[in-house]
Every structure is written in structure tokens, then in C-alpha cells.
């Protein structure tokens, strides 16, 4: 085992204090969540950590971290921990649903089920390692660690769960690209390798989800890059409001949500989108829809407002699939200027509603 003795000491003497609500009454039976999990997460003793590493088929990174980190770099690590807890919750639930053959989670045969269970167990343990890696790095740098929330996932079938996993994994890969750039731009170069290694792990997961969904494993030549603020906003869509003990430590922007109403298809067509107003407002300002796909300059299309009743707006916009080969993940955001936008980060700076995630092919 290659974990450092100081880490073990910290893990055993500084347990998280969990203040999150502990009951999700409606789903308490189906979901063995929230934390702490039976294996101890998030507060582990050395034996529990060893057990998780064994299930993950590998250890926490053993290379020494730099001595200091930028404020932006600390926020990056907090966002990673925030996301990783969501994944731990999701795969814990999914594994439970498959293991217990919850309605909607049946497999056609035992061979497929056995392979899926082994794969999910490995993914879950690796996500636990990612969570610990981010929070232990924060502790090392003397920055606030992130505590888990209570989560809820909008899925009740195996198929929908894997579609969701494929989507949030693609978006996390996009967010980790932005995190890498922010580390590099803020003198935290020493952290970039850790993120590259994590992206590769997520890419392998994504390949399995895609094969499961009868898609070719590798999505696009270069995966869509996102923005940390989009990553933070999207992650919160899985959080039970008010259940996060210290989300306020994460100094990122949260946008108002954007709903993609039409299921997009691999052809150029109009899609319907909608959003809810924060303030009652009968009139929309001039808005556009920006699409971020792969490593291309974002496309901006005009929005036609179909209805606006003061609370909710519905609009249609062209999804220019054919012109730009919008395969894989596309991140849509309603923006308050026409652009041009250099990349996802510049779209986020002008975003009003978003991100809406579209996955084609
Ligand atoms: C860490 O500290 C060193 C020495 O003071 C400094 O040169 C470097 O820029 C700092 N790194 C960050 C990321 O702030
Ligand atoms: C597990 O099943 C329950 C009951 O159908 C459902 O509410 C929950 O969202 C499922 N979780 C996952 C991750 O599939």
C-alpha cells in the first residue's frame, strides 16, 4: 500500500461532522443513502481505506503535492469533491438497485448482471478514492474540505440511470478540462497531471456506459470542454435543496436552470427550451442560445420566444447538427449577447440560464 502515514492519521482523527438531514422518507427503502456509508465514508479508519483501495484496484495518489495552492486551485478541488460525492451517492444507489433487482433494474441474464455488478463496484470504489483525493488535498493545503449533501436522481430504470451516468460523466470530463486550464493559469501546474489521470478514468467509464447503450465507445475525437460554473450549477440539480452543510465554501456562480424540452436528434431541427424566471417578468430581454460542442468555437443562434407568462418562458431555436456535426455532448446556455464567444468559459460569462445538456449519438 502506498498511502502516506500522515493521511491515515488525518483520516482517523478528523472525521467529518455530518449535519445533513438523514432521512429521505419517500425513498428511504430503495436507497441506502445518505452518508455515512456502511464502509465508513466519508470518515474512514485505515482498514476501511485499505478495503476501498482494494475494491478500486488501486491507491490514492502517493506522489507528494506542492506546498501551496492558489485560491482558484482550491476552488477547483472543492468542486471536484462536491461532484465526487454525487457520483458516490449515485453509484451506491445504482449498485443497490441492481443487486436487489429493484423494479426497472432487471438484467436479461445472470452473466450480464454479474459483469455489470463487478464493473459498478469498481467504479464506485474509484469514485470514493477520487472524493478522498480531493478532500485530502484540500486538507493538505489548509483549505475547507467539502461535506456531502443529500441527493436525488431523476431515474427509475437501469436504462435511464446509464443514460444519466453517461451524461454527467461527459459533463464532468468537460469541467475537468476547464479545471486543468485554471490550475495551469494560476501557478498550480503541479496539479494538472492528477486531473489528466482522472479524466482518463472517466473516459473509460464513459466508454462502458456507451457500449451498454449500444453506442460506439468513443464519443468524439476531442471531448466537449465546459466551465466550472456550469459544472457547479449542473451538479446542484442532483442535490436536495438546503441539504449541503458547506456548499457556501465553493466560490462559484450558480445559474438559473435551463430545460431542453425537445429530445434532440442527429439532424438539424428546431428544439424547444424553457426556463423559469427568478423575478416575475412579463417581458424578455433580447436573448440568444449558445451551443458548446467539442473543442470548437461556440455557435450562437437566435431565440424565438413562444410564450412568457411572467413565471415561465418557452422558446424555440435551431439545433444546427448537420452544419457543425454536433455529436456527443453539447452544452446549451441562454446568453444575453450575441457573441462571438471564444469558448465555454466566455459563454458562461454571459449566461443567464444553463447549462442544458444535449447528447446526440
Ligand atoms: C507557492 O509559493 C511559492 C513561493 O512563495 C510561489 O512562488 C508560488 O507562486 C506559489 N504558488 C501558488 C500557486 O500560489
Ligand atoms: C434506484 O431506485 C429507486 C427506486 O426506483 C429510484 O428512486 C432511484 O432514483 C434509483 N437510483 C438510481 C441511481 O438508479
**Is there an atom of ligand 1 within 6 Å of 68 CB?**
yes
Residue 93 is predicted with a pLDDT of 95
In this structure, the answer to whether residues 192 and 328 fall within a common structural domain is: no
Write down the pLDDT at residue 36.
59
Is ligand 1 within 6 A of the CB of residue 70?
Answer: yes
For residue 144, the 8-state DSSP code is -
Per-residue confidence (pLDDT) for residue 7, from 0 to 100: 41
The pLDDT tens digits of the residues spanning 62-88 come to: 999 999 999 999 999 999 999 999 999
Q: How far is the CA of 165 from the centre of ligand 1 (A)?
A: 37
Report d(CA 61, CA 194) in Å as an integer. Answer: 8
Is 278 part of any domain?
Answer: yes
> What residues make up the domain containing 331?
259-360
pLDDT: which is higher, 41 or 345: 345
Q: How far is CA 90 from CA 33, 94, 140, 175, 310, in A?
A: 9, 6, 27, 18, 35
Closest-lying ligand 1 atom to the alpha carbon of residue 187: 13
What is the predicted pLDDT for the residue at 282? Answer: 57
Q: How many CB atoms lie under 10 A from the CB of residue 27?
A: 12
Answer yes or no: do 168 and 289 share one domain: no
> Does the Cβ of 187 fall within 6 Å of ligand 1?
yes
pLDDT of 252 > 90? The answer is yes
Q: In terms of domains, do 126 and 270 share one?
A: no
Confidence of residue 14 (pLDDT cuts 50, 70, 90): very low
Q: What sign has the CA pseudo-torsion 83, 86, 91, 92?
A: positive
pTM: 0.90
Which of these, 153, 166, 157, lies nearest to 123 by C-alpha position? Answer: 166
Q: What is the per-residue pLDDT for 17?
A: 27
Query: Same domain for 146 and 206?
Result: yes
Q: What is the pLDDT of residue 19?
A: 32
Q: How far is the CA of 109 from the centre of ligand 2 (A)?
A: 20
**Closest ligand 1 atom number to CA of residue 68:** 1
pLDDT interval class at 263 (50, 70, 90): confident
**Torsions phi, psi for 156 (to 5 deg):** -135, 10
Ligand nearest the Cα of residue 90 is 2
> Residue 225: which of 129, 341, 335 has the closest Cα?
341
Instruction: Kindly report the protein residue whose alpha carbon is nearest to atom 14 of ligand 2.
Output: 94
pLDDT at position 11 is 37
pLDDT band at 44 (very low <50, low <70, confident <90, very high): confident
Higher local confidence (pLDDT), 198 or 279:
198
**Closest ligand (CA of 96):** 2
Q: In whole angstroms, what separates CA 62 from the centre of its chain?
A: 25
Distance 310 CA to ligand 1 centre (A): 50
pLDDT grade for 286, boundaries at 50, 70 and 90? confident
CATH at 226: 1.20.1260.10
Ligand index nearest the alpha carbon of residue 92: 2
Do residue 280 and residue 221 come from a single domain? no
CB of 90 closer than 6 angstroms to any ligand 2 atom: yes
Q: What is the mean pLDDT of residues 258-287?
A: 86
Q: Judge if 146 and 176 occupy the same domain.
A: yes
69 lines ligand 1 (CB under 6 A): yes
Q: Do 135 and 47 belong to one domain? A: yes
Cell numbers linked to 311: 413565471
230 lines ligand 2 (CB under 6 A): no
User: Does residue 44 sit in the same domain as residue 110?
Assistant: yes
Q: What is the pLDDT of residues 328-341, one digit of tens each?
A: 999 999 999 999 99
Between CA 318 and CA 300 the distance in angstroms is 10
Q: Do 50 and 196 have their domain in common?
A: yes
CATH number of the CATH domain containing 277: 2.60.40
Q: Is residue 211 scored above 70 in pLDDT?
A: yes
Interval between CA 23 and ligand 2 midpoint (Å): 15
CA 254–ligand 2 middle distance (angstroms):
26
Length of the chain: 361
Whether residue 225 is found in the same domain as residue 264: no
CA of 237 to the centre of ligand 2 (A): 16
Pick the residue whose CA is nearest to atom 5 on ligand 1. Answer: 68
Domain C-terminal end among 249, 283, 316: 249
DSSP track, 282-293? SS----EEEEEE
Domain boundary residue, one of 227, 249, 271: 249
Higher pLDDT, 347 or 309: 347
The per-residue pLDDT for 129 is: 96
Q: Can you tell me the distance from the alpha carbon of 283 to that of 313, in angstroms, rounded to the nearest whole number?
A: 10
Q: The C-alpha cell of 16 is what? A: 467529518
Atom 4 of ligand 1 has which residue's CA nearest to it? 68
Q: Is 93 in the pocket of ligand 1 (CB under 6 A)?
A: no
Going by pLDDT thresholds of 50, 70 and 90, the confidence category of residue 361 is confident
Total structural domains within the chain: 2
C-alpha cell at 81: 469533491
Least confident of 26-35, 212-221, 239-248: 26-35
Residue 320 lies in a domain: yes
CA distance 54 to 14: 23
Give the per-residue pLDDT at 330.
Answer: 98
288-329: per-residue pLDDT in tens? 999 999 999 999 999 999 998 878 999 999 999 999 999 999
Last residue of a domain, one of 249, 284, 308: 249
Residue 281 binned pLDDT confidence (cut-offs 50, 70, 90) = low
Residue 303 belongs to some domain of the structure: yes
> What are the grid coordinates assigned to 68, written together?
501551496
Residue 254 lies in a domain: no
Over 60: is that where the pLDDT of 33 sits? Answer: no
pLDDT at 22: 36
Ligand 1, atom 3, residue with closest C-alpha: 68
249 lines ligand 1 (CB under 6 A): no
Given ligand 1 and candidates 68, 76, 141, which is best to mutate, with the most ligand atoms within 8 Å of its CB? 68
- Secondary structure letter of residue 16 according to DSSP: P
Average pLDDT value for the chain? 89
Amino acid at each position: 500500500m502506498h498511502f502516506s502515514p500522515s493521511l491515515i492519521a488525518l483520516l482517523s482523527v478528523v472525521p467529518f461532522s455530518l449535519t445533513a438531514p438523514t432521512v429521505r422518507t419517500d425513498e428511504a427503502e430503495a436507497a441506502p443513502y445518505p452518508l455515512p456509508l456502511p464502509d465508513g465514508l466519508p470518515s474512514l479508519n485505515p482498514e476501511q481505506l485499505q478495503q476501498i483501495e482494494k475494491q478500486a484496484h488501486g491507491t490514492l495518489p502517493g506522489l507528494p503535492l506542492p506546498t501551496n495552492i492558489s485560491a482558484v486551485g482550491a476552488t477547483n478541488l472543492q468542486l471536484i469533491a462536491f461532484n465526487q460525492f454525487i457520483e458516490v451517492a449515485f453509484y451506491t444507489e445504482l449498485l443497490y438497485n441492481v443487486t436487489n433487482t429493484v423494479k426497472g433494474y432487471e438484467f436479461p441474464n445472470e452473466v450480464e448482471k454479474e459483469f455489470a455488478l463487478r464493473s459498478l463496484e469498481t467504479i464506485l470504489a474509484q469514485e470514493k478514492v477520487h472524493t478522498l483525493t480531493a478532500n485530502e488535498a484540500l486538507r493538505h493545503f489548509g483549505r475547507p474540505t467539502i461535506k456531502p449533501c443529500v441527493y436525488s436522481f431523476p431515474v427509475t430504470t437501469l436504462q435511464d440511470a446509464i443514460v444519466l451516468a453517461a451524461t454527467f460523466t461527459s459533463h464532468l470530463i468537460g469541467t475537468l478540462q476547464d479545471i486543468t486550464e485554471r490550475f495551469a493559469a494560476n501557478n498550480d501546474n503541479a496539479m494538472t497531471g492528477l486531473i489528466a489521470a482522472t479524466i482518463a478514468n472517466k473516459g473509460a467509464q464513459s466508454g462502458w456506459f456507451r457500449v451498454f447503450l449500444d453506442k460506439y465507445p468513443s464519443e468524439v475525437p476531442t471531448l466537449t470542454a465546459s466551465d466550472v460554473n456550469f459544472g457547479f450549477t449542473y451538479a446542484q440539480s442532483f442535490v436536495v435543496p438546503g441539504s449541503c452543510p458547506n456548499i457556501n465554501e465553493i466560490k462559484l456562480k450558480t445559474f438559473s436552470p435551463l430545460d431542453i424540452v425537445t429530445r434532440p436528434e442527429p439532424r438539424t431541427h428546431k428544439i424547444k427550451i424553457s426556463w423559469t424566471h427568478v423575478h416575475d417578468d412579463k417581458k424578455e430581454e433580447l436573448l440568444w442560445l449558445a451551443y458548446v460542442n467539442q473543442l470548437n468555437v461556440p455557435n450562437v443562434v437566435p431565440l424565438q420566444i413562444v410564450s412568457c407568462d411572467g413565471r415561465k418562458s418557452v422558446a424555440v431555436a435551431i439545433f444546427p447538427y448537420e452544419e457543425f456535426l454536433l455529436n456527443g455532448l453539447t452544452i446549451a446556455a441562454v446568453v444575453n449577447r450575441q457573441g462571438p464567444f471564444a469558448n465555454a468559459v466566455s459563454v458562461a460569462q454571459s449566461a443567464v440560464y444553463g447549462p442544458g445538456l444535449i447528447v446526440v449519438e
